[in-house]
Amino acid sequence: MKPEIKNYLITIIGPTAIGKTALSITLAQHFGCSILSCDSRQFFKEMKIGTAVPSEEELAAAPHYFIQNKSIFESYSVGDFEQEALTKLDELFLQNNIQIMVGGSGLYVDAVLKGFDEFPAIAASVREEINQKYEDLGIEFLQEKLKELDPAYYQKITIENPQTLQNPQRMKRFVEVCMGSGLPYSSFIGKRTNKRNFTPVIIGIEAEREIMYDRINQRVDLMVADGLIEEVKNLLPHQNLNALQTVGYRELFDYFDQKTSLNEAIEQIKMNTRRFAKRQMTWFKRTENTTWFDYLCDRKTIIDYITSKLK
């Protein structure tokens, strides 16, 4: 009987600007495999500079998937990504039982590695009511409603991922589950086990906070030099789209709306990116079975570690 081949998904996590892309390319070349990006901001083809999309040289160095494959005008959820990524992995594992996933979006990493919980069907009337309340009262209605119906989950978001409180789509979802089921959103979390046909080998990349912050500041300066301001200017007519409610874009929209100066906007981008990196690390440090390496760690050391996990 032919032995079953075991699949492995090398997963690289860590804060923005830490060097995940460079490491993923080194590993992809070593293991002769492809790279799946799970950076939720790099999906969109209209957002290239502000999301630090890999360069043409980097993209050519190894096969990449899920980079600039969607438009900001398309509706694309983390659930959509989960299904598309798993389908792509099934294809790629037929070619090589080792593949790589890399990115800084913790929710999207978790979607592929663990999947989502199962939630009840929500009546259309509930969804319509919430949409109308949001139109009339704004994001504050959703925030107050979640705080009322699921205070524990509201507190968790406030501490771990406060930007979610400003995301209408996700906040509507939390509230509609609470209102439609009569139960807290958090009561449905962690109840379902999703099977995966691969074993994750999770690598975390980190640096001292001051080093990490300095790398972020340098990256923002490079983005500005590469044309970030012009990129954002071209997106001004669409600034209310959900995909554009993100660091690097919101701050420059304020500049173009004459709410701040250019220098202030750039400093805000740096500060908000540093805060984002801190939240990333809070999220990723909770990821089980992760082995952390310093960003300057010799690549051979990391490759040897991964090889030791491939049985």
**Known binding site: residues?**
14-21
Annotated binding site for ATP: 14-21
Annotated binding site for substrate: 16-21
Residue 101's Cβ-side half-sphere holds a number of Cα atoms within 13 Å equal to 28
The DSSP result for the chain, as a single string, is: -PPPPPPEEEEEE--TTSSHHHHHHHHHHHHT--EEE--TTTTBTT--TTTTPPPHHHHHHS-EESSS-B-TTS---HHHHHHHHHHHHHHHHTT-SEEEEE-S-HHHHHHHHT---------HHHHHHHHHHHHHH-HHHHHHHHHHH-HHHHHHHHHH-GGGGG-HHHHHHHHHHHHHHSS-GGGGTT------SSEEEEEEEE--HHHHHHHHHHHHHHHHHHTHHHHHHHHGGGTTSGGG-STTTHHHHHHHTTSS-HHHHHHHHHHHHHHHHHHHHHHHTT-TTEEEEETTS-HHHHHHHHHHH--
